Amino acid sequence: MEHITGEMHGRGWIEVICGSMFSGKTEELIRRLKRARIARQKVEIFKPALDVRYDLQHVVSHDETMIQSTPVQAASQIILLASGVDVVGIDEAQFFDIELVSVCDILADQGIRVIVAGLDMDFQGKPFGPMPSLLASAEFVTKVHAICMECGNLAHYSFRTASEKKLVLLGETDSYVPLCRRCYKARNP
């Protein structure tokens, strides 16, 4: 992370930022990427093409902080588009296929700092997409928390309020609320 980048200069690694919806994952990703740019590092940011909630060409946090990005259909495209960079940022990692894990490993092996943000669990409380494998292979993991919308405690579950049952449902406060363990379990006995 930032306090050790001098020690790890020239060597790549993987950082994962995970948590529930509304926990600040994208905000933290953008913060780290902007700091890398301030340090005059060449940065490229990618997001899944299916994420069109806020903007087609930007990664945007819930508080509307944004950074230019490249939407990609598949994780394999990232390798082709990330040549000559120092830092790669990837948002909404849970929407990529499992190939994202090998893509991140390849980039890190090439000496690139890879920063990945995504949901660690789906709305059913199960590990989501490639995130468990990314968490296992990352050198650094940051778990961020939202605030439970029922009791005010730290939340790490994304509770779906919409009746849709499919796994991927792009949405915001109209479809999800963050809940703590106790409140989530109370709604999902």
- Domains identified in the chain, total number: 1
**Does residue 65 or residue 159 have the better pLDDT?**
159
Q: What confidence score (pLDDT) does residue 173 get?
A: 54
Q: Do the domain assignments include residue 160? A: no
Q: Do the domain assignments include residue 83? A: yes
Q: Do the domain assignments include residue 129? A: yes
Share of residues in the chain with pLDDT > 90 (%): 71
**Does residue 98 or residue 166 have the better pLDDT?**
98
Q: What is the mean pLDDT of residues 124-137?
A: 96
Q: What is the mean pLDDT of residues 139-152?
A: 97
Q: What confidence score (pLDDT) does residue 75 get?
A: 96
- Residue 169, pLDDT > 90, answer no
The parent domain of residue 59 ranges over: 2-145
Q: What confidence score (pLDDT) does residue 149 get?
A: 96
| pLDDT tens digits, one per residue of 72-113 | 999 999 999 999 999 999 999 999 999 999 999 999 999 999
Q: Do the domain assignments include residue 14? A: yes
Q: What confidence score (pLDDT) does residue 53 get?
A: 59
Q: What is the mean pLDDT of residues 154-165?
A: 86
What's the pTM value of the predicted model, to 2 decimals? Answer: 0.86
Q: What confidence score (pLDDT) does residue 4 get?
A: 44
Query: Can you give the CATH number for the domain in which 75 is found?
Result: 3.40.50.300
Q: Do the domain assignments include residue 159? A: no
Nearest to 128 by CA among 77, 169, 87: 169
Q: Do the domain assignments include residue 66? A: yes
Q: What confidence score (pLDDT) does residue 51 get?
A: 66
| pLDDT tens digits, one per residue of 10-48 | 589 999 999 999 999 999 999 999 999 999 999 999 998
Q: Do the domain assignments include residue 155? A: no
Catalytic residue, from 27, 92, 139, 164: name it.
92
Checking DSSP bridges between strand 157-160 and strand 176-179, what pairing results, if any?
Answer: antiparallel
| 165 confidence band (pLDDT: 50, 70, 90) | confident
Q: Do the domain assignments include residue 98? A: yes
Q: What is the dihedral of CA 44, 1, 135, 63, to 10 degrees?
A: -60
Q: What confidence score (pLDDT) does residue 66 get?
A: 64
| Residue 172 is a catalytic residue | no
What lies within 8 Å, CB to CB, of 132 at 6+ separation is 120
Q: Report residue 156 CA to chain centroid gap.
A: 14
